[in-house]
Structure 1
Amino acid sequence: MARVLTAGHVNWDVTLRVDRLPEPDGESRILSQRTSGGGSAANVAVALSRLDVEPSLVGSVGDDEHGHLARRELDQVGVDLRGLLTVPDTETTVKYLLVDETGEVAVLGNDGANEAVRPDDVAPEHVQSVDHVHLTSQRPDTAARIAELAADAGIRVSFDPGRRLADRDFSAALDSSDVLFCNHREAETVLETEYPGSEFADRVLVVKRGSDGAVVHTPTATYEHPGFGVEPVDTTGAGDAFAAGFIAALLDAEDYERALEHGNACGAIVASREGARASPSTEALESFLAEQF
C-alpha cells in the first residue's frame, strides 16, 4: 500500500448553512449547523485513507476539546498521527464555514495552533519513510524543510498552498516541489498565466477550475478534463478531495489523464454532499465513474 505524508493545517470546522452569504450591513438566516474536523492537510489524509492509501500527517492542534476530537476522528480512519503536535495551553484553530444554498463557501477563522509546527519539529525519518509528500498551507519555513527533506530522498512532492499563495513567500518550498496545485485565480495572480512558464517547465502544474473541471500541464504535454455535472451542495473540501484523488491515482499508475479524471470525480462527489469529509471510498469512486459512461 502506498504511503503519503500530508502536512499543514488541522482545524475544527463549524459549518453553518445559510440562505445567502451575508453582505456588509446585511443579515443571513442559519438553516443548519454541524461540527467536524477540518483543515486541508487533515482533509486530504482522510480522503486518501478512503482510497486505500496509507496516510501520515504533520500538523498541530491545541490541548483543548476540539484538538482531542480532531485527533480522535483522524485516528479512527487510520491516519498515522506521530507527526501531529499537541500544543499546551493553546486552542485548536476553529474555522466557521458559511455555505449558501448554491454550495458557495465563505470562511472565518482564528489563528489557533495550526501553524505551531516549526522546521525543527519535523523528523527527517518520518518524511523520508513515505512514497509521496503533499504540502498544504502552513508556515513557509516548515513547508520548505519538509519539501527539501523529501527532495533529497527522491520522494515526489506536491504542493497545494491554497488561498494565501499570493500573500506568503513559499518560493523555497516551490523550488523543491514536483507538482503544484492551484485554482484558476491563483494561477493568474501568482504565475501570471495558468500555463507554465520557464520556471515551471520541469514540473507539473494542475489548475483546478471548479465545476469546469481541471487542466494539468506536464513538461511534455497538457491534458484537460471538463469535470462532472453534479448539483453542488457544499464545495467545502472539494479541492482537498481532488488532490487526494489525483495523488492516489498517480501513485497507482503514472498516468496524468487518469489522475485528472479521478481528481475531478472525487471533487465532484464531495461538492454534491454536505461536509468537507464526504470523500468517497475506492469502490464508491469506481461506481461513480462507471455511471458516467
Structure 2
Amino acid sequence: MSNKKFDLLTLGRSSIDLYSANVGSPFEQISSFNAFVGGCPLNIATGAKRLGLNTAILTGIGPDQVGNFIKHFLDKEGVITEYVPTIDGTRSSAVVLGIEPPDRFPLVYYRENCADINLNIDHVDAIPFADFKAAAFSGTAFSKDPSRTAMFYALELAKKNNVQTLLDIDFRADQWDDPRSFGITLRAALSKFNIVVGTEEEILATYLTDKEQLLIKHQQISAPEIRGNIDSAIQEIMSSGVETLVVKRGKEGASIFQPDKEEIRVPGFPVEVLNVLGAGDAFCAGFSYGLLNNWDLYKSVRMGNACGAIIVTREGCANFMPTNEEVMAFVENRGGF
C-alpha cells in the first residue's frame, strides 16, 4: 500500500450549499444566503487534503455554472478532479440550509435528476483504483440508479486492487423512496467495507423496519430521531463482517468496535456549537488522515473528534475545514491526543 500514488478517493455527492447569512433567524425570515460547497464526499476530500493527504473525488456535475462553481473550488483546494465528469442532461446539486443554533438546522435538498446520482459504470471504470490506498463512500450514493450500481461496482474494484474501503453511512431519509430501503440497500453492502462510520441514528437507520421509528422535526434531514436498540444494531453491523465500526456520539466523542474486542471510548472536545452540518465529514477527514499515516485507531478517532469539534464552531462545511496546523494546535491546547 505504501507504493501507491494517491492516498484517498471519495465517491458520491457534491453540491452548492446556500447557508443562511442570518444566523439565528427562522427559515422564513432569512434575507440572504452565503454560497459554499458541500456534499459528504466533497467535504471529506477537502478536509483530508487540508490536513495533508493527496485526495481525489469521483462526483458528477452538470453542464451549468453551479458545476463550474463546484469544480473551481476543488481545483483551488488541490483535490484531484480529473475523474469528475460533466454529465449532459443533468443539473448540479444544491442544498439550502437555515442556521438556528444550538439545535435547529432545517435543510432542503434540490437533487431532482442531479448529476452525481447519474454516475455510472463507465465513470467508475475511469478510476485507477490500484493507485489509491483508501476509498470513502457515502450512503446517499446508493440511493438511486445508476449511481447505486456504480458504487457496488466501485466496491468490487476497490477490493480487487487492495484498496481499504470506508463507508460514511450518511443517512438522508428524503433521498430514498422509502426510508426502510436505505437499510435494505446498505445491509447488502456492509460486508464489502473494512470500516463503517456513523452516528447512533444512522446505525439505527441501517436496521429500520417501521416508518414510525423515524421522526424528523423542523426539516432537519441530517438529524433525525430514530427509535431502536442501538446495542443490537451495533452487533448486527459487526456480525456482517465489518472489521471496524466507529460510532460518532457528538460531544461525547466516539466509540470503536471490533470483533471479539471491548468497546473503546474516545473522548471528544466540547465546544459551543454554531452549525452541526459537516461535523461528521470533518470527522472522517481527520480519521482518514490518522489511518493513512499509520496511527492507531484511538489516535485516529481522536483526530476525527478534533476536526469535527472545530467545524461545528464554523459557518459551513468544506470551505471551513481546518488545516493540519489548526487541528494540532487545537488538540495541544485541550490535553493532546
Same fold (TM > 0.5) = yes
Aligned to 1:6: 10
Partners of 1:290 and 1:103 lie apart in 2 by 28
Assess if the C-alpha contact under 8 Å between 2:245 and 2:258 holds in 1.
Answer: yes
CA shift for structure 1 position 266:
0.2
Aligned to 1:148: 156
Deviations 1:72-98 (A, max 9, x none): 000111111122111124221111112
Partners of 1:116 and 1:131 lie apart in 2 by 25
Secondary structure of residue in 2 paired with 1:144 = helix
Pair 1:243 & 2:284 matched: yes
Deviations 1:21-76 (A, max 9, x none): 55xxxxx4226520111111111110011010001111101111110010000011
Assess if the C-alpha contact under 8 Å between 2:83 and 2:127 holds in 1.
Answer: no
Aligned to 1:135: 137
Letter in 1 for 2:116: N
Partners of 1:164 and 1:273 lie apart in 2 by 22
Aligned equivalent of 2:115, options 113, 117, 121: 113
Partners of 1:153 and 1:275 lie apart in 2 by 35
Secondary structure of residue in 2 paired with 1:234 = coil
CA shift for structure 1 position 18:
5.0
| Structure 2 CA distance for partners of 1:101 and 1:186, relative to 1, 3 Å | closer
Partners of 1:32 and 1:85 lie apart in 2 by 31
Pair 1:19 & 2:19 matched: no
Assess if the C-alpha contact under 8 Å between 2:61 and 2:116 holds in 1.
Answer: yes
Aligned equivalent of 1:281, options 320, 323, 332: 323
Deviations 1:174-221 (A, max 9, x none): 221111111111222324534333524551111111222111112234
Partners of 1:75 and 1:221 lie apart in 2 by 43
Secondary structure of residue in 1 paired with 2:17 = strand
CA shift for structure 1 position 156:
0.7
Secondary structure of residue in 1 paired with 2:298 = helix
Comparing 100-109 and 248-257, the one that deviates more: 100-109
Assess if the C-alpha contact under 8 Å between 1:9 and 1:41 holds in 2.
Answer: yes
Secondary structure of residue in 1 paired with 2:196 = strand
Assess if the C-alpha contact under 8 Å between 2:267 and 2:302 holds in 1.
Answer: no
Assess if the C-alpha contact under 8 Å between 1:91 and 1:113 holds in 2.
Answer: yes
Assess if the C-alpha contact under 8 Å between 1:223 and 1:256 holds in 2.
Answer: no
Aligned to 2:44: 44
| Structure 2 CA distance for partners of 1:47 and 1:162, relative to 1, 3 Å | same
Partners of 2:252 and 2:133 lie apart in 1 by 30
Letter in 2 for 1:213: G
Aligned to 1:167: 181
Aligned to 1:25: none
Letter in 2 for 1:5: L
CA-based RMSD of the aligned residues comes to 2.0
Aligned to 1:187: 203
Assess if the C-alpha contact under 8 Å between 1:140 and 1:170 holds in 2.
Answer: no
Assess if the C-alpha contact under 8 Å between 1:158 and 1:177 holds in 2.
Answer: yes
Comparing 184-193 and 233-242, the one that deviates more: 184-193
CA shift for structure 1 position 104:
3.7
Aligned to 2:83: 83
Q: How does 1:212-231 map onto structure 2 within 5 Å?
A: 212-219=252-259, 220-231=261-272
**Structure 2, gaps ≥5 residues long:** 142-146, 174-179, 208-228
Comparing 187-196 and 109-118, the one that deviates more: 187-196
Aligned to 1:258: 299
Assess if the C-alpha contact under 8 Å between 2:195 and 2:242 holds in 1.
Answer: no
Aligned to 1:204: 244
Secondary structure of residue in 1 paired with 2:317 = coil
**Structure 1, gaps ≥5 residues long:** 23-27
Partners of 2:47 and 2:249 lie apart in 1 by 20
| Structure 2 CA distance for partners of 1:118 and 1:229, relative to 1, 3 Å | same
Assess if the C-alpha contact under 8 Å between 1:18 and 1:29 holds in 2.
Answer: no
Secondary structure of residue in 2 paired with 1:128 = helix
Q: TM-score, normalised by structure 1?
A: 0.91
Partners of 1:126 and 1:276 lie apart in 2 by 28
